[in-house]
Structure 1
Amino acid sequence: MAMLSFTALLLLSFPFILDTAFSKTTVKTLPGYNGDLPFALETGYIGVGETDEVQLFYYFVESQRTPSQDPLMLWLTGGPGCSSLLSLFYETGPITFVYDGYNGSLPSIRLNPYTWTKSLSIIYVDAPVGTGFSYSKTQAGYPTGDIMSAKFSYQFLKKWMANHPEYRYNQLYVGGDSYSGITVPLVVQHILDGNMDGLYPRMNMKGYVLGNPKTDTFLDDNSRVSFANRLTLIPDELYLTANKSCNGDFVTEQTDNEKCVAAMQTIEELIRDINLQAVTEPYCSLTSPEPSEAIAEWERRRSLSEKSRDLLLSHKMDEAYWCRNYRHVLAGVWANDKTVQAALNVREGTIGLWKMCNGSLSYTENYLSVVNYHTNFSKSSELRALIYSGDHDMSIPHLATRTWIQSLNMTLMDSWRAWFVHAQVAGVRCQWMKKVRYDKFAPFWDLYFEVPVGNTVFND
């Protein structure tokens, strides 16, 4: 019988200059960083689709320990439509921006002492098409969705592995967060199917990693009310009334159920100004000062720099109303700089204004739930799985994540216990077993949607 080890932690058309299926560049230095990079960084494009019309951009950071032996991970940032630069700079990568003292110029870069790449090689890919620096050579290539995104991500990985044969035998993991909770299992299934069918290159697939993962639309959304009640954002009496009147369904509109409608209206009034991704932090309507693409280049850069400086300085002036996402504006300044794009070997003229998250994707959500994929993995695959969540995230509450994990019908092997960082309790964990398959679960405390951003293990 195969074994599953399952760990969960709570916590427009453009001109084109190049037309290649694969290209890569070794990046020795980056604008904003003083000196040569102390780690191996590669960027490039890989063409996917029948005619390679979709060009997916990636950043590859080699493990800083023993890359020939260390695991390899394909990382898909959520959204859908958020650039992998978000994960590279703000979550798990070896570099991050210097926020203190920012004056509106090109942001400075420092090393992240808690990078995952100390012992893990990571391919950060801008997917789906239209994300980050990824683009399509034709307008017809831009519409996408869960099915197409997963298919192209698998095609990307196959071509990347074929062009990096030295990594063919490394243990392979696929990771992602947020909306990638939908696409990662689909990619994993593609890999397993490809191996089963004898497709080249065969991949040494070992598992997957998901952070605050969207998994089941109804379950994720429906659990917000229960989560709000547990945090005393809504009183017990109101929760009990809503639960009874709405029959436990807080998502489906029940216009003919007056008691349910009344209760839900009150609940919505109580939580509408809550920061769903970090319930203890200020509600922020602005996440990135992105000016119109129609303005002149110099005006665009000045606008980005000035707004970024003002937002970051607001931390000093009024800390009570400062938002963590204000730090994301530095990515817009940095990634839109021409010297940066030249260093990364971004193909000139392929995108307009770079955005951290592209909210204008033509994207179809093909799947409402992928729980069945996790169920199948637990029955027949030699896979390990790590699922982590922040306990302050109400956008995808850990209650929903725990519910679908428990639906896998595993036996509790190791009950809840604390785990520590720097001698301090960082959360709790437990472990399940199903026959000879294992499943673990453990929470990060006092953390929110982007767990690595708020955890001192990853960012000091």
Structure 2
Amino acid sequence: MVAKMNMMMIPPSHIFQILLTLSVFFSMQILTHIEASSSSKVEHLPGFQGPLPFELETGYVGLGETDDDMQVFYYFIKSENNPQKDPLLLWLTGGPGCSSFSGLVYQIGPFAFEKKEYDGSVPSLVSRPQSWTKLCSIIFVDLPFGTGFSYAKNVTANRSDWKLVHHVHQFLRKWLIDHSEFLSNEFYMGADSYSGIPVPAVVQEISNGNEKGLKPLINLQGYLLGNPITTLKEINYHIPYAHGMGLISDELYASLQRNCKGEYIDVDSKNELCLRDLQSFDECLSGINTFNILDRYCKDDSSLWRRSLTQELKKPLRSHLKLPELSCQIYGFYLATKWANDDSVRKALHIREGTIGKWERCYTTDFEREIHGSFEFHVNLSKKGYRSLIYSGDHDLVVPFTSTQAWIRDLNYSIADDWRPWLLNDQVGGYTRTYSNRMTFATVKGSGHTAPEYTPEQCFVMFSRWISNLPL
């Protein structure tokens, strides 16, 4: 009653002023929320001729206790077919510590860098006809923190396997709240390389969250992984693979087997014979691009494309800064750095000013590897009946298809559709086998570590059949 009397005693002009102040206050609260989770449509990109022939959205999703603790930047491309009904895919790249921008421009997105000498202008972009966005909508995220345009108050404290798992899960649920029109779409996780470690954990966390009643409910259907690191024992398959591909002699292979007894990772420093053989092995492969043994070997970035056997999975990938040869595949990494650090590009992408200094495609410093293998997650997800596609470029020496076949075999599921070739234009595109746990394994003939980058047409056909629930 007192409050009512006091309000009645306030002059009308003052009441108007109070209401105006309250209006400004609540408007600021709304703007703060928008800042925490914002999205913008992008119709033109520097380097791309004309308006974009697909729908691109960029934005930020805030994580953490306060809005500005952690901001995840993302690229979202709507399906070019039927976005209302087509599946939704969230893609992660490996490293560890590389943004899924790599997947966007080098592997499965609707545009790519034109391979031509950098002349100081904005690098040119061209359409990719085999974009997976012709079949589904895809979210590409700048995670883990430290990569791309995502930013955080404390980057170092948020860089580990489990932090990445939690961040992806939290990002997805928040993104779907802001994009509720996609809640009913089938959802899949996709990844390659090192992300074969965290992504099965992400899928399990999403599944567990659904079972606990976390909102919004995610229509999780399965996951796909390309040349995925899984057991952290992949190095032990390098030598038999190299022998099978004719990269080392029968005699060296026999000596390696005899002296190292199949263990090439934790070698006893006193085992001089094994170490000698490993040195010989290293010398034989010194001119081989281990990510694709058929591809050109480039000295320009030997730290990225050539590492000794004992260091292959222990040293992370780095953003390429030195100018490589145009004929080298890594030239694209150089173009990406030039493109993303251009002011006109940042403006077009709606990057918040002052949040990011130098753009890094991969940021590998201080990343903590806490998950020592993802096999158990595959076991759990198989029991829950989720679909999965595990594919391997068959000329990858970093994660040989033989190492992937081995852990799939250890799942001990019966074979539903036995080993057979899958065809593209009446030619063998690779080989496949399907298991009773709804897991499909496929090789991609002639392809490397990031298979869609090397053989886009084959991978597009493989993916289109699988995502449509058709046999390969």
Which bin holds the TM-score, normalised by the shorter protein? 0.7 to 0.9
Contact kept, 8 Å, 2:243 with 2:250, in 1: the verdict is yes
2 CA distance for matches of 1:185 and 1:75?
Answer: 12
Q: 1:275 corresponds to which residue?
A: 289
Distance in 2 (CA, whole Å) between partners of 1:80 and 1:258 is 32
Counterpart residue identity of residue 374, structure 2: V
C-alpha distance in 1 between matches for 2:301 and 2:252 = 32
Q: Secondary structure at the match of 1:64?
A: coil
The aligned runs of 1:49-448 (5 Å cut-off) are 49-52=64-67, 53-100=69-116, 103-136=119-152, 138-139=153-154, 142-218=157-233, 220-286=234-300, 311-312=325-326, 322-359=327-364, 361-379=365-383, 381-433=384-436, 437-448=437-448
TM-score where L is the length of structure 1: 0.84
Please give the secondary structure, in 2, of the residue aligned with 1:330. helix
Contact 2:260 2:267 in 1 (8 A): no
Match for 2:361: what amino acid?
M
Partner of 2:24: none
Moved more, 119-128 or 388-397: 388-397
Q: TM-score, normalised by structure 2?
A: 0.82
**1:307–1:193 distance in 2 versus 1, CA, 3 Å:** closer
Could you say what secondary structure the match of 1:324 adopts? Answer: coil
d(CA) in 1 for partners of 2:335 and 2:273? 47
Which blocks of at least 5 consecutive residues in structure 1 are unaligned? Answer: 1-16, 289-303, 313-321
Distance 1:221 1:406 in 2: 18
Aligned partner of residue 58 in structure 1, secondary structure: strand
Whole-Å separation in 2 of the counterparts to 1:66 and 1:385: 23
Contact 2:393/2:448 (8 A) holds in 1: yes
Paired letter, 2:442? A
The separation in 2 between residues aligned to 1:274 and 1:254, in whole angstroms, is 26
CA distance in 2, matches of 1:274, 1:140: 35
In the alignment, the residues of structure 1 paired with residue 87 and residue 155 of structure 2 have an alpha-carbon distance, to the nearest angstrom, of 36
Q: CA deviation at 1:353?
A: 1.4
Instruction: Tell me the distance in 2 between the aligned counterparts of 1:231 and 1:198.
Output: 50
Q: Is the 8 A contact 2:146 2:155 kept in 1?
A: no
| Range with bigger deviation, 104-113 or 37-46 | 104-113
The answer as to whether partners of 1:410 and 1:439 remain within 8 angstroms in 2 is no
Instruction: Determine which structure has greater relative contact order: mean sequence separation of CA pairs < 8 Å that are 6+ residues apart, divided by chain length.
Output: 1
- Do 2:164 and 2:198's aligned partners in 1 also have CA atoms closer than 8 Å? yes
For 1:222, the aligned partner's letter is: N
Which residue identity is paired with 2:74? Y
Structure 1 contact 18–347 (Cα < 8 Å) conserved: no
By how many angstroms is 1:287 displaced? 5.1
Q: Which amino acid aligns with 1:265?
A: Q
CA deviations on 1:219-250 (whole Å, 9 max, x unpaired) are: x1211111111111111222122112222111
Q: Distance in 2 between matches of 1:91 and 1:389?
A: 14
Q: Which structure's CA Rg is the greater one?
A: 2
1:455 is the counterpart of 2:452:
no
Q: After superposition, give the CA deviation of every residue in 1:400-456 in whole Å (9 maximum; x if it has no partner).
A: 1111111110112322221222332221112222xxx33322211111112111114
CA distance in 2, matches of 1:439, 1:176: 15
What do the CA deviations read for 1:329-366 (whole angstroms, capped 9, x no partner)? 2211211110100010111221221122223x321000
The SS at the match of 2:350 is coil
Deviation of 1:390 after TM superposition, in Å, equals 0.9
The residue identity in structure 1 corresponding to 2:189 is: V
Larger % of helix: which?
2
Instruction: Supply the distance in 2 between the matched residues of 1:275 and 1:396 (Cα, whole angstroms).
Output: 13
Shift in Å, 1:284? 2.6
Unaligned runs of 5+ in 2: 1-30, 303-318, 461-472
1:25·1:44 contact (CA, 8 Å) conserved in 2?
yes
- 1:89 is displaced (CA, Å) by 1.1
Q: Which of the residues 28, 31, 34 maps onto 2:46?
A: 31
RMSD: 2.3
Task: Evaluate the alpha carbon distance shift between residue 252 and residue 340 of structure 1 in structure 2; reply closer, same or farther with a 3 A threshold.
Answer: same
Task: Tell me the residue number matched to 1:317.
Answer: none
Q: Aligned pair in 2 of structure 1 residues 152, 397: CA closer, same or farther (>3 Å)?
A: same
Q: Is the contact between residue 206 and residue 383 of structure 1 (CA under 8 Å) also seen in structure 2?
A: yes
Q: How far off is 1:141 after superposition?
A: 5.5
Distance 1:112 1:176 in 2: 19
| SS of equivalent to 1:418 | strand
